[in-house]
A and B are shown apart, each in its own frame.
Chain A
Amino acid sequence: MDWIDALLIPAIKSLVVIVVLLLAFAYMTYVERKLVGRFVRRYGPNRAGPFGLLQPIADAFKAIFKEEVIPTEVDKWLYVICPGIAVAGSLIVFGVIPVGDSFMAWGRKITMVVADVNVGVLYVVAMAGLGLYGIFLGGWASNNNFSLLGALRSTAQVITYELPMGLAIASIATITGSLRFGDIIAAQKTLPLIILQPVGFLVYFISGMAEINRSPFDMPETENELVSGYSTEYGGIKFAIYFMAEYINMIVMSILVATLFLGGWQGPFAHLSPLLQLVWLVVKAAVVLFVFIWVRASIPRVRYDKWMKFGWKFLVPLGLANLAVTAVVVALVA
């Protein structure tokens, strides 16, 4: 193990992953606006470049050159670093997710994952909670009543929906016998887990949408009651970074759903080329992302108290029941 293996390759991998995620974020905003536009019979962005394809770039320049007002009342330090915490927290989750098997380059075997740790899923659950600090402290630091409410709601919502999510993951672990992403993907070689765990998939999917604050469950930023929730006092590049964190969370969540339940990078002919594995993963994640956007365009926002009740009184018991049934069935089969 020389320094190239130990430092250079992981550093390059990290850079590639982060740059790709940022580009994916930029065009995700475009795709979402275009799709939501079509859902309600509008055109969506169509001015900058052909089909509006340059819109994300125009938005990025706008965010960078925008005057940034730091209100006098805020807690300055927290106010400045919180968007950074949020986006770093959402990027770091991606470090353990394999996007393919491995390939040879310059005589070296390069695995298509930054670090396939043996507690990968646990790591994801832990790190996903980290980004919440960015949202909560940012809302608190803004010194604004609505931001504080948004921050509190976001915390209550995320911790509520972390439970069913954890229970769904535990059901997966009883089947696969491992928390390493590589093993979970390998266990889905013949049958994706969505078929063995349909209820687990539903529980995971709904709580996933709650975790990433997607509309119709975007309680932290309900525009019509909390203005814009935790991000009201933010502008310019800091708002753009919050926005980025939200979209990267969404992309990472879709890739997690694809990896945990849809077989990850596996698919017909996937063993032929690492590029094909990547394509399979992207296709699966794109389907999940489309469903996220579809749900947003179709369902009105739920009421906060009902949404919390749904989590505690329906999803948590359902997750527990699913885990118990899974355990009994696995014991009967084995």
Chain B
Amino acid sequence: MSDNEYKEILITLIACTVLFLVLAAIILLFLYLYQRRRFIQQQEVNELQQQFKEQSLKAQLEIQEQTFLAISQEIHDNVGQILSLAKVQINILHETERFDKPLLEATRDNIGKAMADLRDLAGSLNSDRLRNNSVHDTLFREADRINRTGTILAGVQVEGEPRELEPRKKLILCRILQECIQNCIKHAEASRISILCQYQRDAIHVLIEDNGKGFDPETVLQNGNGQGLSNIQTRVRLTGGTHHIHSLPQEGTRIQLTIPYE
């Protein structure tokens, strides 16, 4: 074999070997990068799940806190007043010598009303209530609570076939709704709140509208005063849903929430 032929064969063989080794290196590099990307994605998912868990716990605590506040107000403003009235009526009955049947009946009605209110309050203390109730049940209860204050008129409309949300998602959604309603009561100076709850095919859609003074969401967030708004944003993101806030000064506020069932 001539020197040139020998060199040609040697170079070809070495080139083939190098090429194959480069190919092996590319395959390994691809595998490594692919696995690393999957690992990072998995980490992100885990972090999101962790945040979701934390937020649902936080939401649960906030709901409990709000429930306690509502109960204390209810006992003070409603049950307490009725029982005080019943006590006054009993005192009158005690001091009156003649048998006053209408007053006795009124006293009995008041005590019965106080008992019914207490039963209702005891029910709201039950932590399973939120879990067992649907989203629109929570909305009806909130509207009822608002209407009882007498300052704002709240109405709830439900459309579609009610479907169940995943419990933790439901908890977070209820907390978002409470936050929206609470903001409306506190800051909007509204006289009317209307809530539309639509059970759509893949998601639950809630629209909360008020006729209050409105605000500029961007300015509120930029000024750092929008803790409630930022909470809503974070929580909606964790549920995998979307939200849209439309509000202009003196034109009321409209909040749209869409939360997927799965």
Q: Do A and B come from one complex?
A: no
Instruction: Please give the residue numbers on chain B whose beta carbons come within 8 Å of chain A beta carbons, in ascending order.
Output: none
